[in-house]
Every structure is written in structure tokens, then in C-alpha cells.
Amino acid sequence: MNTGAGTDTGADTGPGADALAAGGGIGVVTRRVAGALFGRRARLRWVHLVLGGALLMPYWMLSSVVTGALNPRHDQLLKVLLYFAALGLSLPMAAVTALVPTVRALEGAAARALCAPHRPDEVATGPARSWAARRQTAAWYVLHLLFGGVVSGMTLAGGPFAAVLLISPLGGPPVDGLLQYWRDHGFPFWLGGPTLGLALLGLIVGTSAGCGALLARWAPVLLGPTADERLAAAERRATVLAQRNRLARELHDSVGHALSAVGIQASAAARVLRTDPDFAEEALRAIGDTARAAVAELDAVLGLLREEDRADAGPTGPALAGLDDLLRQLARTGLKVDAELAPGLDRLPAAFSREAYRIVQEGLTNVLRHAGPAAPAALRVGLAADRLEIELTNPLGPSRPSRPGGGRGLRGIGERAAALRGGCEAGAADDGTTWRLAVWLPVGGTR
């Protein structure tokens, strides 16, 4: 019995497998090299370089007129040297014209569409607004025209010559002289036209791919935002985030408070609808008033969201002078608040008073949510030495967290206090049975 027949796992681990793996690796490398030289990205970069060569032509022709005056005898060697001198003279001229702000926008759009940069999102598409951005654009423009001129010249001159070399074995007037040169100098036939033609084509393609890759790597550096532009973008981003946070706080504090009050009032009305119709009617009336007030505040917040430019633009929403109305509204839900309000709250700055009102509103809403309407609360709003102090205490309810922190409400209170250059503390008192919220705000400290 042959026991070895059942031990074959189907895996070939011999020399053939190594050769297959090596062949697969070579195939992958070959595909990558072919893609880098002839793929879609390489073709787009070639078009981008040819565009740079086309942009170089007016500068080069003008420079050629200037340098041509230096060769009155039309010496051929000097003529060739002056062509290169004209190229060197045309680049500073191009750099000067690239200082025009709109050049950055045009070059950025062309680079993003054709150059395939490594980080296209960092390539600017707007005009240069600072001299640093203009200098970077000038450097990019010079490189684009220089590389483009080289690749365009090699393509226009080397391409047809490579084609002549490739068809040299076929003979004919264009290649007879070349074949005779080969015979006179003793070159072997295999080093003839086709080999040199392929080498020339490879040189053209390789130069185009290399120049395109370099431009793609430098595009985010030279056409990307400057340090000042990055700072300005970060400031704009911070402003947008601050506005979003402000709108989120407004929605949370105004609409969230109204929904909490409406929910408790609706529950109370449902419980006593048959036994105490008068109380149920009062609760339903309070629900209507609360809903209308919430709709008005929601409309004000949406106005901010739409950035409406109104003549009466300014702080919207209730202020500290409206705390009595807030306490009466909460009393309808059953929440009893022992309030001590300092005189003169109505004379505080409007923006400051509005933010302070939201802090008190959110604190009382948290009492309603977590401790329940049956829990007594004590509110003190004091004003002394240009400092407003808010203190709110209530018994810990069964669902009240026993650690400082909380949800968005307490975080919003902290953000409002920080915006007013004040501070806040929230957490269980030392006795472990009372929750305490303390906020202190310097009057006139709005950032």
C-alpha cells in the first residue's frame, strides 16, 4: 500500500513554485512600470508638460529676438548656444508675469486636472492674495515652463527622428544616409536604427514621466496654501465651529427646555384629566404658551442659521429680566423654586444678560429632568462688584448622576461661562444628597 499518496496537500513547494512566484513578482513590477510610463496619469502629465512648453514659446521667441542680435554673422555654433541662452532669459520673464494673482488660479486648476498631484485637495484654485503666494506661484510657473519646454522639444524633435530610426531597415531616402554612416563607422547592424530609435523613445517617455512626477510632488508645496493662508483657514474653521456650537446650544437650551416642560405638563394633564378638569385645562393652556414661545425662539435661531441681515439684528431671546416669567412657567409643571434675584438685573448688557438667562434656564431644566417636578430647588442670582453669581441647588433624584459632568446641558453651561470669561462648577455637594450648580460671570466680560 502506498501511504505517500494521501499526503499530497496540493501545494507546490519546489523550484517551479519559486519560479512562478518570481514570475508573478516580475509581472507586477512590469505592470507598474508600464503604468508609470504609459498609463492614464502619465498621459495627462505629458499633456500638462506640453501645455507648459506652449506657454514657454512666447517668452522664448521674444528672448530669441534679443539674443539673435548677438549673432550678426549667423554662426551655427553660436546660434545653438544662443538658443539655450534665450531659454535662460525667458524663464525670468515668465517669473515676472507669474506674479499676477490670477496665474495661481489658472495654474492650480491645470495642475489639479492634468498633473495628478499627490495631494490635490491642497492645491489652491484661487488667486494669490499675498506676496508669499505670488513668489511660490512664480517658482512653480518657471518649473512648469522649463520642464514643459524640455519635454515638448524632445517630443517634437526626438519623436520624428526616433520614427526614422525605427524604419531604417526599410531603406529609402530618409535613412540611406544613416545606414551609410553606420557602415562607414563599423557599427553592427543590431546597434542600428531600430535599437537607437527605441532607446530615444524610451528617453523621451522616461523624461516625461520623471518631470511629470516631480511636478506632481511639488504642486502642493508651491501651489498649496501659505502659512498665513493656513492660519486664516484655521481661523475661519474655528469661527464656523464656534457658530455651530452656539446654534447647538441655542437649540438645546430653548427647544430642549420647552419640550421638557411640555412633556411634564402633558403627563400631569393626562393624570388629572377626569378628576381635576380645571388643572388639566390650565396645564393644556401652559403647553400652548410654552409651544408658542418655543416656536418664536426657534425662528430666531433659524434666522441666525440663515445669516439673515436684519435691521434689528442683535441678541435674540429672553434676558435675566424674564426670569420671573420662566419661574412662573416652571411652577405650572409643579416645580417649586425658592428664588432670590438681585435688583438691577434688567440693567445688565443685553448680550451678557441673554447668556446668563440661558445658563439659569438650562440649570432649572436639568432639575426638572433629573430630580423631577416634585423636588424643591433654590436659586440665587447675585450681583456684586461687577460680578454676577448664579447658584442653583436641588435634592438628588433617583436618576441623578452622582458624579460631576453630564450631558450637553452642563457642557453648554460651561461653554457659555467660558465665553463670558467666567467659570462654573457642578456636582454633588459634600452631604451627598444635594446637587449644586455654581456659575460666576464678570459683567462686561463677553469675548
* 226 contacts 122 by C-beta, under 8 angstroms: no
- 435 phi and psi angles, rounded to 5 deg: -100, 135
Angle of the 323-332 helix axis to the 277-305 helix axis, nearest 10: 140
pLDDT digits (tens, 9 = 90+) for 165-195: 777 665 555 555 655 666 666 555 555 667 8
Integer Cα distance of 233 and 254 in angstroms: 31
Could you tell me which residue, 241 or 435, shows the higher pLDDT? 435
pLDDT digits (tens, 9 = 90+) for 313-368: 444 668 888 888 888 877 877 778 889 998 888 888 888 888 888 888 888 888 87
pLDDT digits (tens, 9 = 90+) for 273-298: 778 787 777 778 777 777 777 777 77
Integer Cα distance of 261 and 300 in angstroms: 20
Mean pLDDT for 69-73 is 74
Which domains, ranges and CATH numbers included, belong to the chain? 26-225 (no CATH), 246-442 (3.30.565.10)
Residue 392's nearest CA partner among 407, 370, 415 is 370
Integer Cα distance of 117 and 97 in angstroms: 24
CB burial string 189-227: b at 16+ within 10 A, e below: eeebbbbbbeebbeebbebbbebbbebbebbbebbbbbe
Query: Within 13 Å and on the Cβ side, how many CA atoms surround 238?
Result: 6
Whole-number pLDDT of residue 286: 76
% of the chain at pLDDT higher than 70: 79
Whole-number pLDDT of residue 99: 94
**pTM exceeds 0.85, yes or no:** no
pLDDT digits (tens, 9 = 90+) for 12-42: 455 555 544 555 577 778 888 888 888 899 9
Mean pLDDT for 356-384 is 84
The DSSP call for residue 215 is: H
Residue type for 59, please?
A: Y
Confidence of residue 111 (pLDDT cuts 50, 70, 90): very high
Instruction: Kindly report each contact of residues 47-50 with a partner whose C-beta sits within 8 Å and lies 24 or more positions away, as own/partner.
Output: 47/114, 48/110, 48/111, 48/114, 48/115, 48/144, 48/148, 48/212, 48/215, 49/144, 49/147, 49/148, 49/151, 49/152, 49/208, 49/211, 49/212, 49/215, 50/148, 50/151, 50/152, 50/155
pLDDT digits (tens, 9 = 90+) for 140-167: 999 999 999 999 999 998 888 888 777 7
Query: Within 13 Å and on the Cβ side, how many CA atoms surround 274?
Result: 0
SS3 state of residue 425: strand
> Which residues of 325-442 form beta strands (DSSP E)?
337-341, 377-384, 387-395, 423-428, 434-442
% of the chain at pLDDT higher than 90: 23
